[in-house]
Chains A and B, each alone.
Chain A
Amino acid sequence: MPKEPPLLEASSIGKQFPGVRALHNVNLSLFQGEILSLVGENGAGKSTMMKLLAGIHLPDDGAIKLNGDLVEITNVREAQKYGIALIHQELNLSDNLDIAANIFLGNEPHKNGVMDHNRIHRESAQFLKRVGLEFPTDTLVADLTIGHQQLVEISKALSVDARIIIMDEPTSSLSQKESEKLFEVIRGLKSQGISIIYISHRLGEVIDLSDRVSVLRDGENAGELVGDEITHDAMVKLMVGRDLSQFYNRTVTALGEKIFEVKGLRTPPYPDNEISFSVRSGEILGIAGLVGAGRTELLQTIFGITPAVGGSMKLNGKELMPKSSLEAIDSGIVLAPEDRKRHGLILEMNVRENTSLARLSRDQKVGIIDFNNEYELAEKTIKELKIKTPHSSQVVQYLSGGNQQKVVLGKWLSMNPSLLLLDEPTRGIDIGSKQEIYKLMEELAASGVAVIFVSSEMEEVLGMADRVLVMHEGAVTGDLSREQLNEEAVMQLATGNKAAA
């Protein structure tokens, strides 16, 4: 490690959001030309920390020093001025503009408002060369793959002379090849003296890439690993605060009969791929894959939100093919969606109204709401799922992520489903709630409910699933039993390497 003072030093950083303490007393330092990885479970505060550095949020407490000088980063433009660029997981490029226009967006060289096109294209070409992207600068961004778009984002960071580039889960939707290309570029940047903060859930690539690893847990520093200390087990232990075997202590129950079966199902975004699988009573089926592999779309099709274009499904021996979520719910299928705030909850309504929303149509008499019944249902749900809320009239947007997710689950459990679909069930929630949700999944499976969950968190897939389907570009590329399960096998299948399995 270089002896010189750190390039960036954040100390005692604290940040509150309504209902959540996102960060508390977090310290982070970064040296010049260093690749620092930031790891932690969903909801550990990694993204929040990065948004503070990039000027998207302001910290409530603490100080940030750049080259030893105290700075206050109040907006994105200021962050740029200090040489900090954040590349989001969902890229921020304009599809309808070409590469050069995207690189210079907001910083166009101009004379009295008239853009200097020649200079934009000339300089863009130089940046593309530095990241090894061989495309004409007037190529539309819409025509590039996600991997190439990522490189355009990096070029954009270079164009504003960034000395610190933060990458938030850059490989979450990249193929193996694209990922390797990206790592090459990252190492190249390092050799040019640029510092990288790298966020990833893939511990394998973290080990390959990092000089140093900082671990966050529930919004606090959990520890730091340097050089040879960076091992898979060491990181996971810091991430969950205990040995992995204690965290996911899944008691495997005897499997019953097949209760849900899918045959040749074709979803609207991937009409050419036929998907077939089945779930047995008491079984928890995990679905792994890259972002954009069609996992969410599969769940939405089973739930009737985007009705299937072909194939058949059978639940408890009965054929069904829901054309709307109402049909799916009526036949016993429920979905806790990935985007909790947009799809799972009515944020401005209270806990009681959210828990009863699906149930109302069954408890009504000539359309009139039975308020006593509704109140009792809410109280029961709050108690059974241990939802932390002052009262059932609390508006759900003021609850923490974990408690919001419990409200979603409470709404569905009151319907006594036969098939529970969970899309990224633990995204953005604290470790305590996470374990409660795992326990709930187990209990439900043991009681005969078929549970299918989609997760991008490898440890979760490996720890919770009895069996794992791996998807790649809309197709199922593998079906792994608990004995065959390991990170390597899942990654190979998820990135489209069939041979390895």
Chain B
Amino acid sequence: MNKNTIGILSLFVLIFGFTWYSNENFVNGYNMTNLVKWSSLYAIMGIGVAFVIITGGIDLSIGSVIGLVASLLALAIKYEWNPTLTVVLLLGLSIVIGLMHGLLITKVKLQPFVVTLCGLLFYRGISRWLTDNQTMQFPGTENLDSFFSGKLLIFGKFALSSPFFFLVVVAFIAAFFLNRTIWGRYLLALGNNEDGARYSGIQTDRLKIAAYVICSFLAGVSGLLFAYELDSVQPAQTGEFYELYAIAAAVLGGCSLRGGQGAIFGVIIAAAVIRLLRNSINLVGISTHLEFSIIGLVILGGVTADELIKRIVAKRRSKQISTSKS
């Protein structure tokens, strides 16, 4: 585990302990079930955007992709499409969205911020238009319902729900991809120095496109999970701002927006910290109007501490080397 992950884990323990100390109702089966579930949902998005951030890019369209996928799912159920086929098609659609982002960024050489900002606006508009901006309920589609939002009772009232199991699978594959495969290594190399990677024979464009595809695909997966979890879709609101939670989780979890850095486990814990903060602000008795401010401050504090520690380490290291030489 790297230093950053240890830091973020300590932050989690600290906030958890403080909340429990201030309100003993915090730790109960129901609340813990929710905490794990929502943290998992945030973490899946966070892992997706982490891949894009590692390449030095950004994806602002995540929330709108979630909204679009959830809206289309609701429509399909309303018109009684085959549910399984719908799910497959929606995941296919999110892959195509990522592919388009990647192509626009690498081939047309547009800036990731601009491309995905336009995506954010475009997909949201499409969702509202297709659904006539009506809130839609989900009549149960038996099997898929339990697949995407089922619960496994562990003890008492504490249960692990589907998003958690999805996260475990996604996290395992993502960590393996990033740390053990050549493509993960290439991704980190290109994030650090794109020209350097290209001069070493790495096909940087393809890798970047792959990163956007992974990100949109995981946004699509989250869209399905959110839709089944909430049992209703508001085309104008579902998923709104979620890209910012995802980016916050990735950054707090150790991904540098400059690219080239990232740890999957850190992103998961960071997503949990953000979810935990929302929960504890309620329970500790701080005005919920301050929620965003507090989350913002904690993230700012976290990345500042990280930057300062890195600087001290770098200074010490260069000093060691020069003294060992002379």
- Known: A21-B322, A349-B188. Contact between A358 and B201, CB under 8 A? yes
- Known: A21-B326, A368-B181. Contact between A343 and B195, CB under 8 A? yes
Partner of B183, one of A305, A349, A367: A367
Q: Are A21 and B201 in contact (CB under 8 A)?
A: no
Q: Are B322 and A326 in contact (CB under 8 A)?
A: no
Q: Smallest Cβ distance from B310 to chain A, in angstroms?
A: 11
Q: Smallest Cβ distance from A213 to chain B, in angstroms?
A: 28
* Nearest-CB residue, chain B, relative to A398: B321
* Residue with the highest number of chain B CB atoms closer than 10 Å, among A21, A303, A324, A335: A324
Q: Are B321 and A360 in contact (CB under 8 A)?
A: no
What residues of A have a CB within 8 angstroms of the CB of B201 in the complex?
324-326, 328-330, 358, 361
Q: Are B199 and A16 in contact (CB under 8 A)?
A: no
Q: Are B321 and A348 in contact (CB under 8 A)?
A: no
Q: Smallest Cβ distance from B315 to chain A, in angstroms?
A: 9
What residues of B have a CB within 8 angstroms of the CB of A326 in the complex?
201-203
Cα distance A305–B195 in the bound complex, in angstroms: 10
Q: Are A368 and B318 in contact (CB under 8 A)?
A: no
Q: Mark A324-348 against chain B: 1 for CB-CB distance below 8 A, else 0.
A: 1110111000010100001111111
Q: Mark A241-270 against chain B: 1 for CB-CB distance below 8 A, else 0.
A: 000000000000000000000000000000
Q: Are B193 and A357 in contact (CB under 8 A)?
A: no
Q: Mark A6-20 against chain B: 1 for CB-CB distance below 8 A, else 0.
A: 000000000011111
Q: Smallest Cβ distance from B253 to chain A, in angstroms?
A: 18
Q: Name the interface residues of A436-475: CB closer than 8 Å to any CB of B.
A: none
Query: Quick check: is A168 within 8 A (CB to CB) of the other chain?
Result: no
Q: Mark B303-326 against chain A: 1 for CB-CB distance below 8 A, else 0.
A: 000000000000001100110011
Q: Are B202 and A357 in contact (CB under 8 A)?
A: yes
Q: Are B322 and A411 in contact (CB under 8 A)?
A: no
* Residue with the highest number of chain A CB atoms closer than 10 Å, among B183, B189, B198, B201: B201
Q: Are B198 and A325 in contact (CB under 8 A)?
A: yes
Query: Quick check: is B239 within 8 A (CB to CB) of the other chain?
Result: no
Cα distance A335–B318 in the bound complex, in angstroms: 29
* Nearest-CB residue, chain B, relative to A364: B182
Partner of B325, one of A21, A337, A345: A21
Q: Are B185 and A360 in contact (CB under 8 A)?
A: yes
Q: Are B182 and A19 in contact (CB under 8 A)?
A: no
Q: Are B199 and A337 in contact (CB under 8 A)?
A: yes
What residues of B have a CB within 8 angstroms of the CB of A342 in the complex?
193, 195-196
Q: Name the interface residues of A352-385: CB closer than 8 Å to any CB of B.
A: 353, 357-358, 360-361, 364, 367-369
Cα distance A342–B322 in the bound complex, in angstroms: 23
Q: Smallest Cβ distance from B131 to chain A, in angstroms?
A: 41
What residues of B have a CB within 8 angstroms of the CB of A17 in the complex?
322
Q: Name the interface residues of A116-172: CB closer than 8 Å to any CB of B.
A: none
Q: Are A343 and B199 in contact (CB under 8 A)?
A: yes
Cα distance A456–B9 in the bound complex, in angstroms: 53
Cα distance A364–B185 in the bound complex, in angstroms: 12
Q: Smallest Cβ distance from B55 to chain A, in angstroms?
A: 13
Partner of B180, one of A20, A21, A324, A368: A368
Partner of B181, one of A19, A353, A357, A369: A369
Q: Name the interface residues of B59-109: CB closer than 8 Å to any CB of A.
A: none
Cα distance A157–B232 in the bound complex, in angstroms: 71
Q: Are A369 and B189 in contact (CB under 8 A)?
A: no
Q: Are A324 and B203 in contact (CB under 8 A)?
A: yes
Cα distance A235–B291 in the bound complex, in angstroms: 71
Q: Are B199 and A353 in contact (CB under 8 A)?
A: no
- Known: A324-B203, A357-B200. Contact between A18 and B321, CB under 8 A? yes
Cα distance A190–B148 in the bound complex, in angstroms: 83
What residues of A have a CB within 8 angstroms of the CB of B326 in the complex?
16, 21
Cα distance A347–B195 in the bound complex, in angstroms: 12
Question: Other than the known A364-B182, A398-B317, what 12 A-B pairs have Cβ atoms closer than 8 Å?
Answer: A16-B326, A17-B322, A325-B201, A344-B199, A346-B197, A347-B193, A349-B189, A357-B197, A357-B202, A358-B201, A368-B181, A369-B180
Q: What are 16 A-B contacts defined by CB distance under 8 Å?
A: A18-B322, A21-B325, A324-B203, A325-B198, A326-B203, A342-B195, A344-B196, A346-B196, A346-B200, A346-B260, A348-B192, A348-B193, A353-B189, A360-B186, A367-B181, A368-B180
